[in-house]
Amino acid sequence: MSKAKVNGLKILTKADICLIGLLVVIAVGGIGLGMNRLASSGSGALTAQISVGGTIKQTVPLREGYRQEIQLKNGDHYNVIEIVNGKIHIRQADCPDQLCVRSGWIGIATQQIVCLPNRVVIKIVAAENDLDDIAR
Amino acid sequence: MDIRRMMILSLFVAIASILHIVESWFPLPFPIPGVKLGLANVVSILAIAFYGWREALLVALLRVMIGSLFGGTVLGPSFAMSMGGALISTAVMAYIYQYHRSIFSIVGISIIGAVFHNSAQIIIAALLVVSTGLLWYLPYLILFAVLTGAGTGFTAAYLLLKIPRDCL
């Protein structure tokens, strides 16, 4: 390898700069799309879907005055999920990285909490209209 | 494989394993699975530049195995993510280094490696929890990878300049 090739310290090549620009545009576009999805999600009754390994274990309503605590067991692992006044969070978990606990409270449709080691996903979905509430 | 090469490659594996373990100690500000600094990518780049793709993949493979052993995550989900991310990013970086070295600098190659690393990790994570919703994290991971990839790329480029070729 020649010295000039290694000398990336001073000169980024044109392709590098194009690459960085392209990646930043893609990333910002993707973030914008996600935000847009968050903002334009349905305004119906919110529910939280709690799934383990892709199968929905439990669906809980998110509304004012509703409280619930769920001990989610999955083999040897557990997540303690708390629902208070239309918001949901994972209060405690035995996963090593604790990312799910640090995710904090969520309460807007399409927001999610993921606990990868325990394969738990909590996803908030909005009903298209309020029929769900009446049916319940 | 002569002894000198074997020694240096084991040294690479040792350094990469340490970096792999140390970076798992830093809590990052985003609670997103798959976000990593990717410090061990520096060693992958050095292995590619000094030896080639075979050696680089070997170093990456051993690094993830040893790093996960010490981290206590062998064969868990994060092991699958690390392994997939490390092997894919090393392979992509080796390919670009081999065939497109005149277009991209080491920094560019490192950024591409970091992007592939994080993307592979989040895709494996999405497969593990069977939820496509995880892919919404991808743009954040790409943005983060540009920063960390540039950081590791500059480090690797500096080391490539400074490490005397005749000691290898």
| Mean pLDDT, chain A, integer | 82
Any B CB within 8 A of A21 CB? no
Instruction: Note the pLDDT of residue B94.
Output: 95
Instruction: Note the pLDDT of residue A119.
Output: 87
Any B CB within 8 A of A11 CB? yes
Any A CB within 8 A of B103 CB? yes
| Residue A99 with chain B: CB contacts under 8 Å | 31-33
Q: Which helix (H) or strand (E) holds B5?
A: helix B3-23
> How far does the CA of residue B14 sit from the closest CA of chain A (Å)?
24
Instruction: Note the pLDDT of residue B148.
Output: 93
pLDDT band for B167, please (50, 70, 90 cuts).
Answer: low
Q: Which residue does chain B place closest to A29, by CA atoms?
A: B139
Over residues B30-54, the pLDDT tens digits come to 777 767 788 899 999 999 999 999 9
Among the partner residues A1, A24, A119, nearest to B128 by beta-carbon distance: A119
Q: Count Cβ atoms below 10 Å from residue B156 Cβ, excluding itself.
A: 26
Any A CB within 8 A of B158 CB? yes
Does the domain at B3-24+31-167 match CATH 1.10.1270.20? Answer given as no
Binary contact (A23, B115; C-beta < 8 A): yes
pLDDT band for B153, please (50, 70, 90 cuts).
Answer: very high
Angle between helical axes of B106-129 and B41-50 (0-180°, round to 10): 130
Any B CB within 8 A of A23 CB? yes
Instruction: Note the pLDDT of residue A136.
Output: 45
User: Strand runs (DSSP E) across chain A, as ranges?
Assistant: 46-52, 55-62, 67-74, 77-84, 87-93, 112-115, 120-126
Q: How far apart are CA B23 and CA B18, in angstroms?
A: 9
Q: How far apart are CA B42 and CA B157, in angstroms?
A: 9
pLDDT above 90 for B14:
yes
Chain Cα centroid distance, residue A51: 13
> How far does the CA of residue A17 sit from the closest CA of chain B (Å)?
8
pLDDT above 90 for B133:
no
Q: Which residue does chain B place closest to A96, by CA atoms?
A: B73
| Residue B151 with chain A: CB contacts under 8 Å | none
Range list of H helices, A13-116: 14-39, 99-102
Structural domain boundaries of chain B?
3-24+31-167
Q: Which residue does chain B place closest to A53, by CA atoms?
A: B129
Over residues A77-102, the pLDDT tens digits come to 899 999 998 899 999 998 887 888 98
Largest pairwise CA distance in chain B: 50
- Beta bridge pairs of residue A88: A83, A106
Is ipTM > 0.90 here?
Answer: no
Question: Tens-of-pLDDT digits for all 136 residues of chain A?
Answer: 444 444 444 568 888 889 999 999 999 999 999 888 877 776 678 889 999 988 888 898 888 888 889 998 888 889 999 999 889 999 999 888 788 898 889 988 888 898 888 889 999 888 765 444 445 4
The mean pLDDT value for B93-119 works out to: 93
Binary contact (A15, B131; C-beta < 8 A): no
Any A CB within 8 A of B164 CB? no
Tokens 């690094």 belong to residue: B63
Instruction: Note the pLDDT of residue A43.
Output: 67
